[in-house]
Amino acid sequence: MSTLFANSDVLARARRRPTMVGHQPNSWLMRLDRWLAMSDRMHQRADLRAIADDPHLLADLGLTREEALEQANVPFWR
């Protein structure tokens, strides 16, 4: 995974710069931020679905198989 996409906090830090105070937010930046968040959730849920059959990994997370699959099936936009 690329570090650019793995750390979406970069965009949040860019918005907090003092030079941007009073400026209108860039719509493309907000859209990119939303897309990165949705992409992250999509990948996390796919990974959760992939480990649903490994009881040791689920025990590390403190989840049952049913709970993991329930969370994995939530749409990524929520």
The H or E element containing residue 31 is: helix 27-50
Is residue 15 within 8 Å of 29, Cβ to Cβ?
A: yes
Look at 10 and 44; give whichever has higher pLDDT.
Answer: 44
CA dihedral 58, 59, 64, 65 (to 10 degrees): 30
Reported as a single tens digit per residue, the pLDDT across 13-68 is: 555 555 555 666 678 888 888 888 888 888 989 999 999 999 999 999 899 999 99
pLDDT the model gives residue 30:
86
pLDDT at 6 over 70: no
pLDDT the model gives residue 3:
47
Coil/strand/helix, residue 26: coil
Cβ neighbours of residue 56 under 8 Å, at least 6 residues apart? none
Rounded to two decimals, the pTM is 0.54
pLDDT at 73 over 70: yes
